[in-house]
Structure 1
Amino acid sequence: MIRRKLGEARTRYEQDVEAAIRRVPQWVGREVSYGMLVGGLNNRNWRIEIGGDPRRYFLKIPGEGTEMFIDRVAANEAAVNAHGLGIGPEVLFFDPADGLEVHEFLEGYRACTTTDFSVPQVQDAVLGLYRTLHGGPKLSLTKTIFDLIDEHLEQARMLNAWMPENLDWLLLYYEQARAAFTASGFDLVSCFNDPMPGNFLVSDGKPMKLIDYEFASTNERSYELGVLFCEMFFDEPKTLELIEKYYGSIRSDLVARVYVCRALADMKWASWAVVSRKLNDWDFDLQKYGVWKYMRARDLFLDPRWDGWLRQL
Structure 2
Amino acid sequence: MTSRTPADVPAADDRPLGSARTDAERAVESVLTGIEQWRGRTLHYAPVTGGLQNSNWRITVSGNDRRYFLKIPGAGSEAFVDRGLAHEVALRAGALDIGPEVVLFDPVSGVEVVEFLEGYRACTNGDLKRDDIPRAIVAMHRTLHGSGLLGVRKTMLDMVDEHCVQAAGLGLRLPADWPVIRGEYEAAKAALLASGLDLVPCHNDPMPGNFLYREGHPMRLVDFEFASDNDRAYELAILITEMFYDEQRTLEMVEEYYGHTDFATVSRIRVCGALADVKWGLWGCINSRLNSSWDFDYHKYGAWKLMRARTVMSDPRWGLWLATL
TM-score range for the pair, normalised by the shorter chain length: over 0.9
Matched residue, 2:324: 312
1:284 to 296, 301, 323: 296
**How far, CA to CA, are the matches of 1:23 and 1:174 in structure 2?**
46
1:138 to 149, 154, 175: 149
1:192 and 1:215 in contact (8 A); partners too = yes
Secondary structure at 2:218 match in 1: strand
Question: Under a length normalisation based on structure 2, what TM-score does the superposition of the two structures give?
Answer: 0.93
Q: Which amino acid aligns with 1:283?
A: D
**How far, CA to CA, are the matches of 2:259 and 2:16 in structure 1?**
52
**How far, CA to CA, are the matches of 1:24 and 1:210 in structure 2?**
25
Identity %: 52
TM alignment of 1:186-197, pairs within 5 A: 186-197=197-208
278-287 or 200-209, which deviates more: 278-287
Tell whether 2:269 aligns with 1:258: yes
Q: Which amino acid aligns with 2:61?
A: I
2:51 and 2:209 in contact (8 A); partners too = no
State the shift of 1:233 in Å: 0.3
Tell whether 2:285 aligns with 1:274: yes
2:190 to 156, 179, 190: 179
1:294 to 286, 294, 306: 306
State the shift of 1:197 in Å: 0.5
Normalized per residue, the structure richer in strand is 1
**How far, CA to CA, are the matches of 1:3 and 1:242 in structure 2?**
41
Q: Which runs of 4+ in 1 moved over 4 A?
A: none
Q: Structure 1: any 5+ residue segments left out of the alignment?
A: none
1:24 and 1:93 in contact (8 A); partners too = no
2:46 and 2:57 in contact (8 A); partners too = yes
Tell whether 2:71 aligns with 1:55: no
**How far, CA to CA, are the matches of 2:75 and 2:186 in structure 1?**
32
151-160 or 20-29, which deviates more: 20-29
**How far, CA to CA, are the matches of 1:253 and 1:244 in structure 2?**
13
Q: Which amino acid aligns with 2:295?
A: D
1:74 and 1:140 in contact (8 A); partners too = no
1:154 to 156, 162, 165: 165
Secondary structure at 1:42 match in 2: coil
Secondary structure at 1:274 match in 2: helix
1:46 and 1:60 in contact (8 A); partners too = yes
239-248 or 20-29, which deviates more: 20-29
**How far, CA to CA, are the matches of 1:17 and 1:49 in structure 2?**
13
**How far, CA to CA, are the matches of 1:232 and 1:8 in structure 2?**
40
2:58 and 2:67 in contact (8 A); partners too = yes
**How far, CA to CA, are the matches of 1:283 and 1:18 in structure 2?**
22
State the shift of 1:40 in Å: 2.5
Matched residue, 1:33: 44
**How far, CA to CA, are the matches of 1:48 and 1:204 in structure 2?**
23
| Per-residue Cα deviation, 1:202-229 (whole angstroms, up to 9, x for no partner) | 0011011011111111111000011100
State the shift of 1:26 in Å: 2.2
Question: Under a length normalisation based on structure 1, what TM-score does the superposition of the two structures give?
Answer: 0.97
**How far, CA to CA, are the matches of 1:87 and 1:103 in structure 2?**
13
Matched residue, 2:4: none
Matched residue, 2:254: 243
Aligned length in residues? 313
**How far, CA to CA, are the matches of 2:42 and 2:303 in structure 1?**
48
Secondary structure at 1:190 match in 2: strand
**How far, CA to CA, are the matches of 1:124 and 1:269 in structure 2?**
24
Q: Structure 2: any 5+ residue segments left out of the alignment?
A: 1-11
Secondary structure at 1:204 match in 2: coil
Matched residue, 1:75: 86
